[in-house]
Structure 1
Amino acid sequence: MRHSLKNKLLAGGTLAILLIILAIVFRPEEQVDFSTQVKPILNKHCISCHGGVKQNGGFSVLFREQAMDTTESGKPAIIPGDAKHSEFIRRLTAEDPEERMPYKNPPLSKEEIDILTRWIDQGAKWGKHWAYTLPEKVSLPENNSLLASFFSSSTEDNASTPIDRFILKKLEEKDLEPSPEAEKATLLRRLSLDLTGLPPDEDLVEAFLADNSADAYEKIVDTLLASPHFGERWTAWWLDMARYSDTKGYEKDRSREIWRFRDWVIQAFNEDKPFDEFTIEQLAGDLLPTPTREQLVATAFHRNTMNNDEGGTDSEEYRIASVIDRVNTTWEVWQSTTFACVQCHSHTYDPFHFEEYYEFMAFFNNTRDEDTEGDFPKLRFYSEEEQKEVEEIKSWVARYGDKTDQDAVGQFLKVLEPKINAHTCDEFVNGTLADTKWLSIRHQGSCRMPSVDTRGASRFYINYWTGSSGGKMEIRLDSVSGPSIASIDLPATQGRQIISAPVTPVEGRHDLYLVFINPTIDSRQSVCYVEWMAFRDPLPGEGEAGYGEIKESFFQLVNANPSTVPVMVENPPHMSRTTQVFERGNWMVKGEVVQPDVPDELNDFPEGAPRNRLGLAQWLVSPENPLTARTMVNRFWEQLFGRGLVETLEDMGSQGSLPTHPALLDWLALRFVNEMDWSMKKLLKEMVMSATYRQSSKASPELIRKDPDNKWYARGPRFRLSAEQVRDQALAVSGLLSDKMFGPSVMPWQPEGVWQTVYSGEYWKLSEGEDQYRRAVYTFHKRTSPYPSFISFDATSREVCLVQRITTNTPLQALVTLNDPVYQEASRSLALKMEQAGDKDIKAAIREGYQRAMLKPIPEEKLEVLEKLYRQAYQKYKEEPEEARKLLMLPAEADLTGATPQRAALTIVANAIMNLDEFLTKS
């Protein structure tokens, strides 16, 4: 019996071993992932010769249908399921250097060839890049030993968030440990600078430091999120992407009145406008049912494109340049995709076809704006008195006209825009052609208008600008010498005018000519800029008592010069543009006609959505779009932590960086859309409430060695403040900063000679009073001459969209904060407060300055250094009182008793404090 049991045990053991061997031999082979394993190899080694423009040997690895297609050899290079007989693998492993691929480059590694071989044997499944697939529900990582040990001793109930589970899981994998929480003062300063762009005021500091309740931190987060300065801070960030500027760009770079868009963005952030609405209103606010004035202002997002006022330019060329910029900006801002690459050929690395670029461009190709001097269409903001006249006119039209009349006059007074533009003036009498936008007229000149069907027309409105006054204009039919169908006396004033011209209906289409006759010119040159606006007479009730007064009031209003902002307006159906492919990206070589559409690789166009900008905006913020929520989560994360979960903010495509924490990125993206309803404040709160954010930024040499870039977040964020924050903080701690919000851009001090404006005579007119000390977001921005100290700290000229500024560390930056008059004045102001607080106690004065700057007591070793600096400066200014006068900017006639060595020396110390690395960084 014992022998029988032994045999059974042996037999059982043999069977178990056999089963294990069989399991090993026949276990399912690990599937190769195309997106993360194959695509990077193809992009690195193959696609430069076999994809996009180049398809050597008739073989391309850009799209699956091309990769599996027959090559020039007559056979496919890849045979799914059969790597052994695939020419692709044979050429990668060939010994003959003339056959081996990559040609004249190092061979692929064994690991890379193994991945490609297994991929083909497994069927050569193509698969989507991770960013183009919709995020799926993400399960939270389970509590691990790090999480338990790190938070077991915390005094706060809300010490950790789900974000920390993702971060700690990765830290555990990397054999790293998180850092302890930053001290309260440092944490408050970091938080305030992140959420409002400003250091906290004294009351907030005192309240937070004295509050030991479990929810003290959360209460301060809510306070800062509710601050009106929140909108100012985040608007400064958004304006880079919107390429916002107060000037038009290009050579002339003339001023543009568009500050109301900046104010709209500030208000949108402050009221926590959901990001989907924030998107739709900027891209298509004009297409919403009965859009509000604010929704129209929002559309200035895409009127921030540059406008070329230079003589001799082709208006259509630069209109198209603006449309292309809008396409590229939309993709960069909302999709983190380098779609601009597709303008000339299919994307070299990502699955976007050449024709898809122009299908997408068709959404933007039907707007009313053109590259013209007037920057039309513009939303008009009347004065209180003018608005009363507007209401009187509307009442008149409501009384005597129908709904069409009401809509026409309402739109005309609200958004001034040309309907038919004359920019093809090619015949003159006694005149010469300056370019396609301007008429140079001596004594008498003519302009040929577009061919127009005048049947049913009773009146044209002509918008023109002239450098002379008075004279006459005639509208003639078919030629300069043809019959006159209208004759108008021109107003006896120079400048821009809108005049009404009665037109006798004429059957059929005709060429119309404007003939300007001005006997007062003599030999001087008069320049006219002309735009036609054809629609039915918007003022009904002719013959009724009071008609003359109403008509005069109407023309006074349309010729008024109220505050405006350029906005988007869609062409009516009868003026709809046709969009064609540009062969090799050349706008002058038109190819096939295309219709508005979105790329096949991404989500479908929303069912029932209009094929215009409104439908496009809805497509972008659809829950089915895989990129928009990921993009914005990544951008907000980068602003707080100094780097994105995907480091390449501008590119989530196959050439971009892989996410360091893909599950966290998707969890936040899904939460942003589905649970937060696109609330940007809720998303930011989720991030700053995390223990990951609240860590100390101090790091040991070992931690820096293991993770020099802090990509695994084992310590708190530490990086330099933005250009705007550097200046705003200096003004804030010195007590100079103005709280004034909104309104036209201001011109604080800048060095002489920075502006070299041509043609217009514009100059930097120094602002007065508190406008000198307003936040940086309100500083006038000129594209060809941006504010100098901002440029030194890596701000942008905003000629094109920029989603991420570079961060440099150059001597020029130190020269700015040491010598720029803005920082010198801030130093003088801070020194005065230090002097008042310390009286004759210099140490107390220095402590006061440091406390104001860093919100915490100064370490003794720093106090000693600054006190030594004070003594040296004091001696210098005691011996050289005139130098003290200069430093303190005392007028020459002032009594030198005001230039005390103490105040001058404290100014030097204050300046040194505001040049400390810890002052210029947020942690």
Structure 2
Amino acid sequence: MRLDTPEGAYAALKDRPSAHAIVPGKPASSEAIARIFSSDPGELMPPPESNLSLTESEKDLLLRWVKQGAAYEPHWAFVVPQKADVPVDRKDQWSRNEIDRFLWRSMKHQGLKPNEQAEIPFLLKRVALDLTGLPLSSDALIKYTGMSVDQAMDQLVDSLLMTPAFAERMAGFWLDVSRYSDSFGYQNDNYRTQWPYRDWVIHAFRKNMPYDEFITWQLAGDLLPNPTKEHILATGFNRNHKYTEEEGVIDEEYRVEYVVDKTNTFSKAILGLTMECAQCHDHKYDPVSQEDYFSLYAFFNNTPEKGFEGGAGSAVRSKTPLMTIEPKDLEGILSFINHKDTTSVVVSVMEEFRDTLRTTYVLARGAYDAPTDQVVTPRTPTSVLAFDENRFKTNRLGLAEWTFSEENPLTARVFVNLIWQELFGKGIVASSGDFGLQGDLPSHPELLDWLAVDFRENGWDIRYLLKKIMQSAAYRQSGKVSKELLEKDPDNVYLARFPRLRLPAEHIRDFVLESSGLLVHELGGPSVKPYQPEGLWEASSSGRGELAVYRMDSGDKLYRRGMYTFIKLTLPPPALLIFDGSNRDLCQIKRNRTNTPLQALALMNDPMVLEAARVLGARLAKAHSSPENAIQEAYRRILGREPKQQERQLMLDFFHDEYDRFQEDPQRAERIVRVGKFPLEPSNDPLADAAMMQVIVAIYNLEEATTKT
């Protein structure tokens, strides 16, 4: 029996043809209602032994639903979004744009009032971190705090959207989605050269490539008319999954595994559906069948990709099909690639069989060696949107066209929700990778649909979408939490305050390096290997291949942005994992945010943090005649604001305490300032440098330093 479909709910019961679970408009004749309200333990639903129960309000809701006709509606996410009328309330003096008017209505219904606008230093810091992942310089802070809030916000947003740092910040978010890494994964985890794809992602965000084009190139750039090497490079998106280099594996088993990964990534990242459950068999309440799954799989199943191609230690750094980037390419269409060597680079990309078509079968239990007799052709789940073969090509390019057709109910919603999640920490749909029947309902469905349609109507312009949200009063709110707000809306569902969010792992590194003046602003290029605990890499290694031993980089490579840190799939960078960085072995739509003692230990002891504090402390001590002025600038550079008088005095006292301690033990001061590889600068007072370093470490360890408020 099924109650999730009208056909199932209205049908006669198999063991009692005269009875029906649901009779629209007639609760007295509806067996389900009788069971729900029964006092007989043998009749009651849910049965007592299930340890499940319905509340009186839930029972009443079901009763009223049947009385009103027991109407069924399609799943909300599978209905094409429409722009609802923007709410208008004459008492609303808070709203700045359409986003706020939807939120205001929800807050009003919940008896909530929005927070006041945040102070300008916090707003400036928030915008800078959201758009670049970096703090503002002291000069920029002084410049913008001298303006009105409206003028400062407009100018800062416009300015930062055009910077290379913005492109890097957005690319960093997309690398989780596209499961980018620098090794093949599995036990024999060898080096691969997929980094030119990362350079392309940065390039795409720099030129503000519309989202429909951004995705189309990645799905099917090789199938576009007269594709260039840039089009083909973008398809590296499909090839970022793990590859085995272990001798003795079954080629077809892993080839199927790779196609499955492509299918799951497309459905989760772009459609917001977790379809992988349907790989093995049908599920009773799932609108996506196993046939649907393998029909979607068929779009990715026609490439000459191999399941096994060369063992660990071989010279192969990419897997077929591939594209070679020659030095001459860097002078033309691929000029955005940062490759200083004169050698060629080989990248894994997509390609179709030209003269044949691989037959796709539904696989029993999803197993590579259990094809059924059921042959499927490329198509999409009808529950989402039927694939019209008269309108779309039956290949990946056709799939991209289907993805961005106006009738597709998911694509715009899913991406708008991802951007909302990047700014507010949680999407309007909290389960941002699952818009299906088991996912969360949107907290503000009309707002989500309005934004989705508005995004599409404005040419899938990502900068436009970001600016639209940042122009809202909701984004400008203070992050202060009152007792009343916490009691009424503990999870901040209705956004009557701005959420306090710890920075993503890579941004913590970037924030520390930039505020200290150590960050190297080089765009793109191969990944780098910064500080890492000695012996950790080797302990996890198979002992074979180029990555058996960790060889730390030197010079400028130690101070690159976190997004360029080398990702070895079998041992992702521990400094990033401690702060919930992605391990990149699968498509990841949303990172966890945890708070652990290990994070505090890292900020107090990580060589990168200590080195940054040492360098900044020495520079401030040298640049200012008094430690008080040095502390004031440290606050501006790290926290983006002036210190309060109490804070100023507290840190000044701490400085003097540390200075006195070092006077008693000068060798201790000398040891402390030798952390890191950055050269020591000549100093007028080494003890002052060491004391100021301790002050900087303390400021970096403030909760405010690594939190967007």
TM norm. shorter chain > 0.5? yes
Partner of 1:668: 451
1:260-409 mapped onto 2 (5 Å cutoff): 260-373=196-309, 374=316, 375-384=319-328
- How far does the alpha carbon of each residue in 1:303-347 deviate from its partner, in whole angstroms, 9 at most, with x for none? 011101112211111111111111111111112222112122334
- Does structure 2 retain, via aligned residues, the 8 Å contact 1:850–1:858? yes
Secondary structure at the aligned position of 2:362 is classed as strand
- The equivalent position to 1:857 in structure 2, one of 642, 649, 652, is 642
Q: Deviations over 1:164-207 (max 9, x none)?
A: 11122222222222222222222111101101111122342233
- Amino acid corresponding to residue 855 of structure 1 in structure 2: G
Partner residue in 1 for 2:362: 581
| Aligned residue in 1 for 2:80 | 134
Q: Please state whether the residue corresponding to 1:564 is helix, strand or coil.
A: strand
| SS class of match (1:919) | coil
Q: 1:121 to 1:852 in 2, by over 3 A?
A: closer
Q: Is the 8 A contact 1:649 1:803 kept in 2?
A: yes
Which secondary structure state, in structure 2, belongs to the residue aligned with residue 100 of structure 1?
coil
Question: What do the CA deviations read for 1:26-78 (whole angstroms, capped 9, x no partner)?
Answer: xxxxxxxxxxxxxxxxxxxxxxxxxxxxxxxxx23354444455654263743
One-letter identity of the residue aligned with 2:451:
L
* 1:790 partner letter: L
SS at 1:684's partner residue? helix
Judged with a 3 Å threshold, the aligned counterparts in structure 2 of structure 1 residues 360 and 792 are, in CA distance, closer, same or farther, namely same
Looking at structure 2, the residues matched to 387 and 228 of structure 1 have their Cα atoms a distance apart, in angstroms, of: 20
| Residues 1:812 and 1:114: Cα distance change in structure 2 (over 3 Å) | same
- Does the alignment pair 1:650 with 2:433? yes
- Over aligned residues, Cα RMSD in angstroms? 2.6
Offset, 1:214 = 5.4
| Aligned position for 1:806 | 592
Residue 827 of structure 1 aligns to which amino acid in structure 2?
A: A
How far, CA to CA, are the matches of 1:687 and 1:133 in structure 2? Answer: 24
Residues 1:84 and 2:20 are matched in the alignment: no
Query: Does the aligned pair in 1 maintain the 2:138–2:633 contact within 8 Å?
Result: no
8 Å CA contact 1:746, 1:780 repeated in 2 = yes
Instruction: Select which of 865, 880, 884 maps to 2:669.
Output: 884
Shift of 1:587: 2.8
Q: Which residue of 1 aligns with 2:336?
A: none
The secondary structure found in structure 1 opposite 2:653 is: helix
Output the CA distance in 2 between the equivalents of 1:914 and 1:348.
52
The residue identity in structure 2 corresponding to 1:331 is: S
CA offset digits 1:539-585 (Å, max 9, x no partner):
xxxxxxxxxxxxxxxxxxxxx983111001011242x2111112233
- One-letter amino acid of the counterpart of residue 636, structure 1: I
Structure 2 residue 570 is matched with structure 1 residue 626: no
CA–CA distance in structure 1, aligned partners of residues 569 and 505 of structure 2: 16
| CA deviation after TM superposition for structure 1 residue 262, in Å | 0.6
Instruction: Give the deviation of 1:622 after TM superposition.
Output: 1.4
Q: Which has the higher strand share?
A: 1
Amino acid at match of 1:257: T
Distance 1:787 1:898, change over 3 A: farther
Structure exhibiting the larger radius of gyration computed from Cα positions: 1
1:871 to 656, 665, 677: 656
SS of aligned partner of 1:580: strand
Aligned match of 1:920: 706
Contact 2:103 2:494 in 1 (8 A): yes
- Greater shift, 120-129 or 646-655, is seen at 120-129
The letter for the 1-side match of 2:690 is: A
Note the C-alpha offset of 1:890.
Answer: 7.6
**Does the CA contact (< 8 Å) of 1:62 and 1:351 recur in 2?**
no
CA distance in 2, matches of 1:73, 1:213: 70
Q: 1:186 to 1:811 in 2, by over 3 A?
A: same
One-letter code aligned to 1:750: Q
Distance 1:726-1:214 versus aligned 2 partners, 3 A rule:
closer
Task: Give the conservation status (yes or no) of the 8 Å contact 2:300–2:396.
Answer: yes
Q: 1:901 aligned to 2:684?
A: no
- One-letter code aligned to 2:370: V
> Counterpart amino acid of 1:134?
V
Aligned position for 2:335: none
Shift of 1:720: 0.5
> Which of 483, 486, 496 pairs up with 1:714?
496
Question: Aligned partners of 1:590, 1:645: CA distance in 2, in Å?
Answer: 40
Q: Does 1:565 pair with 2:350?
A: no
Pick aligned residue for 1:116 from 62, 83, 105: 62
For the Cα contact (< 8 Å) 2:118–2:477, is it kept in 1? yes
**Structure 2 CA distance, aligned partners of 1:724 and 1:258?**
19
Distance 1:895 1:748, change over 3 A: closer
Task: Write the letter of the residue equivalent to 2:496.
Answer: A
Aligned residues: 681
1:910 matched to 2:692: no
Q: Comparing 136-145 with 99-108, which one deviates more in the overlay?
A: 99-108
Counterpart mapping for 1:685-696 below 5 A: 685-696=467-478
**Deviation at residue 80 of structure 1 after TM alignment:** 3.9
Quick check: 1:219 aligned with 2:155? yes
Pair 1:876–1:764, CA change in 2 (3 A): same
Q: How far does the alpha carbon of each residue in 1:413-446 deviate from its partner, in whole angstroms, 9 at most, with x for none?
A: xxxxxxxxxxxxxxxxxxxxxxxxxxxxxxxxxx
Q: Which amino acid aligns with 1:658?
A: L
Q: Quote the residue 1:521 is aligned against.
A: none
Letter aligned with residue 697 of structure 1: G
Q: Quickly say closer, same or farther: Cα 1:586–1:895, change in 2 above 3 A.
A: closer
Give the distance between the partners of 1:341 and 1:386, measured in 2 at CA: 43
Query: Given the alignment, which residue of 544, 559, 583 partners 1:773?
Result: 559
Does structure 1 retain, via aligned residues, the 8 Å contact 2:117–2:478? yes
**Structure 1 residues 894 and 166: alpha-carbon distance in aligned structure 2, compared to 1, 3 A threshold:** closer
1:134·1:625 contact (CA, 8 Å) conserved in 2? yes
Cα 1:702–1:122 shift into 2, 3 Å: closer
Cα deviation 1:230-257 (Å, max 9, x = unaligned) = 1100111111111110011111111110
Q: TM-score, normalised by structure 2?
A: 0.91
Q: Measured at CA, do residues 647 and 213 of structure 1 come closer, stay the same or move farther in structure 2, by a change above 3 Å?
A: closer
SS in 2 for 1:362: helix
Contact 2:249/2:308, CA 8 A, preserved across alignment: no
Which secondary structure state, in structure 1, belongs to the residue aligned with residue 523 of structure 2?
coil
d(CA) in 2 for partners of 1:788, 1:774? 16
Indicate how the Cα distance of structure 1 residues 642 and 895 shifts in structure 2: closer, same or farther if over 3 A, else same: closer
Contact 2:9 2:22 in 1 (8 A): no
Aligned-partner Cα distance in 1 for 2:306–2:463: 37
1:777 partner SS: helix
Write the letter of the residue equivalent to 1:655: Q
Q: Is the 2:607–2:675 Cα contact (8 Å) retained in structure 1?
A: no
Q: Please, which runs of 5 or more residues in structure 2 have no aligned partner? A: 310-315, 333-341
Q: What letter is aligned with 1:778?
A: Y
